[in-house]
């Protein structure tokens, strides 16, 4: 089964579970302006299956930066670390928001490697988050509670 052949019911379930928020950067897809995609957490090229436990909603930018990666270098230690797995790990255990709510800070090797590999703080998204903070759309309340 290819990425484009994700059954509609499974696609709808993933969107509903995430409330249209990227599993990686936690941006609400309706305010990013970019079409969200269903990401294979373990890519199909690495034998990842098209099943609920291996799929998540991702914004276009996170999906593009992630590509087929499953590991990346932790910039603090220089060692390889697995990337964040949104189905098996909790976001708040691996990430936190900067005090101004514009940047994602990795708490763990997994978090730091994911921030770096997916470029979660690229300048355009940081600027967008700055604007979202001003109008009260960001950061998501469950990330800071």
Considering 12-16, 57-61, 92-96, the range whose residues carry the highest mean pLDDT is 92-96
Separation of alpha carbons 28 and 49, rounded Å: 25
pLDDT of residue 1: 40
pLDDT tens digits along 3-19: 458 999 999 999 889 88
pLDDT tens digits along 96-109: 999 999 999 999 99
pLDDT band at 145; cut points 50, 70, 90: low
Give the residue with greater pLDDT, 4 vs 58: 58
Residue 40 has pLDDT above 70, yes or no: yes
Mean pLDDT of 65-70: 95
pTM score: 0.92
Do 130 and 94 form a contact (C-beta atoms < 8 A)?
Answer: no
């Amino acid at each position: 089964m290819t990425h484009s052949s994700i059954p509609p019911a499974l696609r709808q379930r993933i969107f509903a579970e995430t409330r249209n928020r990227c599993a990686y950067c936690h941006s609400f897809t309706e305010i990013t302006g970019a079409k969200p995609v269903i990401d294979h957490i373990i890519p199909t090229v690495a034998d990842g299956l098209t099943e609920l436990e291996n799929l998540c909603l991702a914004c276009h930018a996170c999906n593009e930066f992630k590509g087929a990666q499953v590991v990346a270098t932790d910039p603090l230690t220089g060692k390889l670390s697995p990337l964040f797995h949104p189905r098996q790990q909790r976001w708040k255990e691996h990430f936190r928001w900067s005090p101004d709510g514009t940047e994602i800070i990795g708490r763990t090797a997994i978090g730091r490697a994911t921030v770096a590999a997916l470029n979660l703080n690229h300048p355009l998204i940081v600027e967008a988050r700055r604007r979202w903070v001003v109008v009260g759309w960001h950061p998501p309340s469950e990330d800071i509670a």
